[in-house]
Structure 1
Amino acid sequence: MTTTSTTSKIALVTGANKGIGYEIAAGLGAQGYRVGVGARDETRREAAVAALNEAGVDAFGVALDVTDDTSVGEAADFIAARYGRLDVLVNNAGITGGHPQQPSSVDPAVIRAVVETNVIGVVRVTNAMLPLLRDAPSPRIVNVSSSVGSLTRQSGPGGETTTGPVAVAYAPSKTFLNAVTLQYVQELVGTNILVNCACPGFVATDLNGFRGVRTPQEGAATAIRLATLPDGGPTGGFFEDAGVIPW
């Protein structure tokens, strides 16, 4: 039951307390969305909410650990009780698993942990939020992927890749995420839910030791565009700033 009436669109961004997720929340807020800042760490989450509020964004905190069934279920219940629907879900939370990630020497536990967050976490959150998305007039799901998940870009002539160093946990997790996204697209055919993947590019964040060449604000742009698509917009696509990424 809805306890708080609102005419604003409601968005939830996972991993939104910093970096790209924070800038996605800020960008959606600038367009009038009421934005849930999903994050595990309470101190960082509330600091992000305070900063967004100070910048004029209507933000609220959502305690959310994408790897935990109970946490995700409670987050869905919280949004349902407070708003009764969800207009936008941006699955941004992710980990790299650290480096090196040579396939011949990687600890399988690293692959398991990365997939748990980057893939299963997306499924867990999406499934919990789908009933709320179905109650929205123009719902959107955006999964933050990476060009390293493109099999086309991974398999250049002679075996070389254009997607960066070997990363047997992280890169395949994004390929897996892309495939999962297409499964949702197939299941949701005939609904008004648009589901797409966004690549932020090589953004300077703590995930890469701030070695990236793009700002978090630049990295957030494609996800914000996909989250605010008009009815009849694309679904089942993989996008970066320059356009479509080949699967």
Structure 2
Amino acid sequence: MNNQQGIPLPSELAARSPSRHKGSVELRRSQANIPQADQYLLDTRDRADFTHTDPWRVLRIQSEFVEGFGTLAELGPAISVFGSARTRPGTVHYDVAEQIGRLLVKRNFAVITGGGPGSMEAANKGASEAGGLSVGLGIELPFEQGLNDWVDLGINFRYFFARKTMFVKYAQGFIVLPGGLGTMDELFEAMVLVQTQKVTSFPIVLVGSAFWGPLMDWVKTTLLEEGMIAAADLELVSVVDTAEDAVERIMAGLSVGTGRRMPEEPM
């Protein structure tokens, strides 16, 4: 059944999906029912299997990094935009994501998303329609629908960790719209990388104070008060409500840091 917003559940999408990507390979009909590459890697029951299959798997993982590095090396300044695949066209979140994509291009950034539907599609659409470079980094999922039609440069990955590396390595910052577990995963991983100084001058902006406010309140009243984080960690992210403010926070965050490429000033 659909959820309360009428959005198909992943199980329903899986039933409808005529094909799946497995890295650069496209599988259709009965071939699309095989397990995911990440499932093979993380869910091996027979530990002896390691000696027979994982050496080959390492080569496949290596090839994903090589392909990603080679494809994105000349990308130039870019911002990764995250948000729910379930966001519907015509909703506030979709419209804001589209505006963000457009405004980033005006600041001479490329736009990187997960390449899927919803907020990702919206950001890619805004970037593409504004004449900028619209990048999609897809992932093998049981309910995937392929890269959206607004992606100009797309790569499909088997492994989450290879894909995550590309999001951070080739972006100057993150803009995060309301989303689910995948969005939260990317958000907190980026926060950890900044906190531990694995990346520098990397602004992270959350869009939608009504959505993110309760989470940030919990961070302040629970994590901080319990001593699980430092007060300075609260400065890792900014919360805004408009596309314009999101892009301005990104620019402000980059202007005070070092180590990340800034785009040239727009003409």
TM-score norm. by structure 2 comes to 0.44
Q: By percentage of residues, which structure has more helix?
A: 2
| TM-score, structure 1 normalization | 0.47
